Structure 1
Amino acid sequence: MRERVISGDGDHQAATRAERASGRLIAGRYLLHDVLGRGGMGTVWRAHDQLLDRPVAAKELHILTHGDEEHRVRMRRAIREARAVARVPHPHVVGVHDLVEYEDRLWIVMELVEGPSLAQRITESGPLTPQHTAALGLQLLDALEAVHAAGTLHRDVKPANVLLRRDGNAVLTDFGIAALDDGEFLTTTGELVGSLEFMAPERVMGSEVGPASDLWSLGATLATVCGGQSPFRRPARPATLHAVAYEQPLLSERLGPLRPIVEALLGKSPEERPPAAVVRSALRHVAAGEVDAGPLPSATMRVGRPSVSFTDADTVTSGRGVIPAGETVPTSRHTTSLKPAHQPSSRPRGPKRLLWTMAGVVVLAAGVGGGLFLTGVLPPKEAPKTTTTSQVIQSTAGWQGITEVSVQRGDRVSVSASGEWTVDHRSKPMTGPAGYGAAIDRSLDFAKNCKVKSTSPFGTLLGRLVGAKDFPVHVVGRGMAFKASGDGTLQLRINDGDGTCLEDNRGTVTVQVSVTPQP
């Protein structure tokens, strides 16, 4: 589940609703007490099951049980959440007791876990030791294996979704965006659901996801819990998106013996990541206090970065909002000890080092400028500087260029978008950059000739590069990341044709674009 912050009037309204709801009896059985937490999709209450006389947690979903197609899609997602968890009886997976509809809302009744989340724990008390982190990692790994065996993916493993019981054991919770293998893909509206800094690169890039994606998120969670900071969090969403897709993690020295495990789990390609059995063995070594966690695929043997290009075949699906990689990079597994091999220093020591230093000074004084040559050290290259800009995209205009940035071949570009617009302000609701759902889009079939991209819904944010050669039009949706295969200007627009097609449009979308030159 992607969390969102409620502020201002929204915060006041939520508090007012909480006051009114406290003491309310849900479905004639569950008595609400106080609010335990809020997220983007629901509010969790401490409650009491009057029938079985036991404390429970009641999650009130922020969606109505009736409404348009988008509401129905979200309802199906919520029902799948409950079913996914209920079919995984496991000591480290939160138990689901009931699923009820009450006053046009859906409620999921779960076991009450009396304890903080891992996110709260490290905020209040600081990072955990590598040994403690590894012990919790073993419990979460067991939970994920049970989830995967049931044909389910969690898709949002992060510290905020791990609760701690009073005895200190971990419980994996909040399957708000879990997708069953035998169910409908849940992000057909183009929404990029989840917490970006804990989403596996293949999810960000719109590629196929699987159990290895949850293991990547587990690695990011362990790094955050032990290191005290998320390895991919950046000040802005586009930068975070870019970091997950292309950059190596920023890992704290606090990880100690846990570091090689985390590095292996955070491989950019699923094929790079070790299987669960190998991870379990390594975590057991660390949890037992051993310095060497045992063999894992080497974190230094990396495949090429995943990349996408505006010249790739036009295979983007509107549900992803991200352009997939155009080529697959062959991968190979290498096994090595987690203990780094000792590398003898090339620098002379003691008196010899002093003599070499003096020799370097003499050579410099002679004007040769060879000090760097003598030591074999060259000045480090500056890291590529990322340029980020924000721009408003009008719904009443056609293609609009991002004027503050230029894109050159090899540049890595990230885009995120927010806001609302409509292609018919008289009869259609506002929608976000992911465009309309299937029902509303079908109701506009009479105007389908107005679509710029016929395979995508009206209202979708589209993008293209304009340069010396033609580039195809791709879906941007709420976010995308790609590697430019040529020089050009990035242009964006609403999926609604020019001329009279734009006359009844209203609203704007704000985009943030980050461009990092190829090093």
Structure 2
Amino acid sequence: MTSGGDDIRLIGGRYQLGNRLGRGGMGTVWRAYDQMLAREVAAKELNVASDDREYHRRLRRALREARTVARVRHPHVVGVHDLVEHDDRLWIVMELVDGPNLARQVADDGPLTARRTAALGLQLLGALEAVHAAGALHRDVKPANVLLRRDGSAVLTDFGIAALEDDESLTTAGELLGSIGYMAPERLTTEEAGPPSDLWSLGATLSAVASGVAPFQRATGAAALHAVTFAEPEIPERVGPLRPIVEALLDKSPGQRPSAATVGAALRRVADGAEDPGPLPPADLRGTDFPGTRTDAATATDAGATRTDAADPPTLTAPRTVTAPHTLTGPPTPTAPHPLAGSPTLAGTPTSAGSSAPALDREPTVVDQAAGSPPPRPRGPGPGRARAWWWTAGAALAVAALAAALFFTFGPPFDGDGGDTAQPPATRTSKVTVDATRGWQSATGTPVQKGDEVTVRYTSGTWTVDSANLPFVGPGGHIAVDDQSLRFAWKDCKVNAAATFGALLGRYPGNPGNPHAVHRAWHFQATRPGTLQLRVNDRDGCLDDNKGALTVTVQITH
């Protein structure tokens, strides 16, 4: 409809759409104005598929999302106001949180302190307990799905892939929804997912927010899937007193993870300034249930808010008090800017600036298990540390056997005349920042010599080649979907046509395949003296809308 010659898009006869806030895996979020109640709201437009069957599947999932959130009353869970059908599309009208998401906050201002992270963790833990008490799982807890109010408090949002425990699964057979780096390993195998799965995701989120690096970030979705299923998390020293909490939450076995009450007590100690979070025994050793089980109590209080089911109140068997959020004293206090490390994703979250989620959460979102399922996870008697011990022992034996074979074949590493040992090679290592707004940049202070072994490894940071429309990503560049959106510029703006926009590129004189797609690591031997150069995969005439930088480690062994 029109008014005064200006186009006005009105939804449901009362919600006037404004600018787009963001786009996620399930839909697009718009700023809107509720003309009836004279207030600003957020309107989420469900993505519409081309075929009817897919559309109805998405429609049912959106209805599920709305019902899930609507039955939770909690100060740190986004509120749902209305459900509207307009132009054959479903719109979910929600509370407008006019602030950045947590991933954007960290990307712009650097990782949060351990105390600040713990305070937000307490709020998110309370939100998850309320969701579980309503009989639901969030299934996609990650920094990009946490919005920050102006007072610095957190709001858990984007329940687009949540599923009620007492209903049928709405995911297609062989399909997993969520961000791989934040998905619990049982969701990638045949084990049953439950509230401990959300606690796993909370642990990964805490580590990422406090360090700027997701604990299972990898260059590809397959590598991230393998890391979540088998590898130990990479937890930087920066997380400080949060480390024991994160390690306990990221235990491969759901039953070995601590209960929500235990985690809440530990987070409160860290938020209050303690260097020791206290003991974190696993839930199954304490004989306690996680919230959200069908026998669990359904009442809980948090900062004076009562959790109720507006449509269908559950039967209460016993009262239960959940962890209250830690009170935030003032707005967030960011540390010095620190670039984030990450991998691409298909899911985003609205931000106040209208951009998608940065690299903390940009990991592949949909996995076709039929095309490549991860192998079954080892079911040993102990947690991941025991398996890691056996793998380490096996590797040590293999190395010892190889060393013995080399000894008897070639003799000891002496020259045999003077008994002098061979001199070790000289190695120099340096950190280099590669700016997305510049072209080729020298990565070595002095020229590389012929025969030198050169290794380039990605350390941290994110960038984008289209700051107005595309999310921040790591050295692997933008995902295929985003790269396709820039297909019109492939010919004029790509430096390496075979790599995606935003990929980290390197070149060295005489190397075949220049420019080389570095991704997370690149190793070569110099065939002539020269200078190593690095850059973003975007030509010099196309850099005006770029933003961000990557930090790499360059090691040269002569």
TM-score (norm 2): 0.51
Residue 366 of structure 1 and its aligned partner are, at CA, apart by 11
Residue 204 of structure 1 and its aligned partner are, at CA, apart by 1.5
Corresponding residue of 1:40: 25
Corresponding residue of 1:159: 143
For 2:36, the aligned partner's letter is L
Corresponding residue of 1:233: 217
List aligned pairs for 1:385-464, cutoff 5 A: none
Q: Quick check: 2:175–2:369 contact (8 Å CA) kept in 1?
A: no
Q: Quick check: 1:274–1:297 contact (8 Å CA) kept in 2?
A: yes
Corresponding residue of 2:293: none
For 1:77-118, what per-residue CA distance to the aligned partner results, in whole angstroms no more than 9, with x for missing partners? 110000000000100000000111100111000000111100
Q: Quick check: 1:206–1:323 contact (8 Å CA) kept in 2?
A: no
> Which of 214, 232, 246 is the matching residue for 1:248?
232
Which whole-Å CA distance do the structure 1 matches of 2:74 and 2:372 have between them? 34
SS in 2 for 1:218: helix
Corresponding residue of 2:243: 259
> Which of 70, 88, 107 is the matching residue for 2:54?
70
Q: Quick check: 1:271–1:331 contact (8 Å CA) kept in 2?
A: no
Which whole-Å CA distance do the structure 2 matches of 1:323 and 1:134 have between them? 33
Which whole-Å CA distance do the structure 2 matches of 1:62 and 1:149 have between them? 29
For 1:141-186, what per-residue CA distance to the aligned partner results, in whole angstroms no more than 9, with x for missing partners? 0000000000000000000000000110000000000000121112
Moved over 6 A (4+): 317-321, 364-369
Q: How many residues align?
A: 304
Corresponding residue of 2:485: none
Which whole-Å CA distance do the structure 2 matches of 1:103 and 1:73 have between them? 17
Matched, 1:53 2:104: no
SS in 2 for 1:63: coil
Relative distance call for 1:102 and 1:162 in structure 2 (3 A) is same
Residue 368 of structure 1 and its aligned partner are, at CA, apart by 12
Corresponding residue of 2:93: 109
For 1:259-295, what per-residue CA distance to the aligned partner results, in whole angstroms no more than 9, with x for missing partners? 1100110111101211101100100010000111111
Which whole-Å CA distance do the structure 2 matches of 1:293 and 1:167 have between them? 26
List aligned pairs for 1:132-211, cutoff 5 A: 132-211=116-195
> Which of 313, 325, 328 is the matching residue for 2:376?
325
Of structures 1 and 2, the one scoring higher in RCO (CA 8 A, sep 6+) is 2
For 1:306-361, what per-residue CA distance to the aligned partner results, in whole angstroms no more than 9, with x for missing partners? xxxxxxxxxxx988974673874445899xxxxxxxxxxxxxxxxxxxxxxxxxxx
Relative distance call for 1:236 and 1:333 in structure 2 (3 A) is closer
Moved more, 220-229 or 325-334: 325-334
SS in 2 for 1:122: helix
SS in 2 for 1:47: strand
Corresponding residue of 1:352: none
Q: Quick check: 2:252–2:383 contact (8 Å CA) kept in 1?
A: no
Which whole-Å CA distance do the structure 2 matches of 1:319 and 1:110 have between them? 36
For 1:48-90, what per-residue CA distance to the aligned partner results, in whole angstroms no more than 9, with x for missing partners? 11111111000001126x9532221221111000000000010
Residue 232 of structure 1 and its aligned partner are, at CA, apart by 0.6
Which whole-Å CA distance do the structure 2 matches of 1:275 and 1:318 have between them? 30
For 1:216-274, what per-residue CA distance to the aligned partner results, in whole angstroms no more than 9, with x for missing partners? 00000000000111111111111111111111111111100011100110111101211
Corresponding residue of 1:439: none
Corresponding residue of 2:266: 282
Relative distance call for 1:219 and 1:96 in structure 2 (3 A) is same
Aligned Cα root-mean-square deviation (Å) = 2.9
TM-score (norm 1): 0.55
Query: Which sections of structure 2, spanning at least 5 residues, go unmatched?
Result: 1-5, 283-367, 386-415, 422-479, 482-558
Q: Percent identity?
A: 64
Which whole-Å CA distance do the structure 2 matches of 1:112 and 1:322 have between them? 39
For 2:58, the aligned partner's letter is R
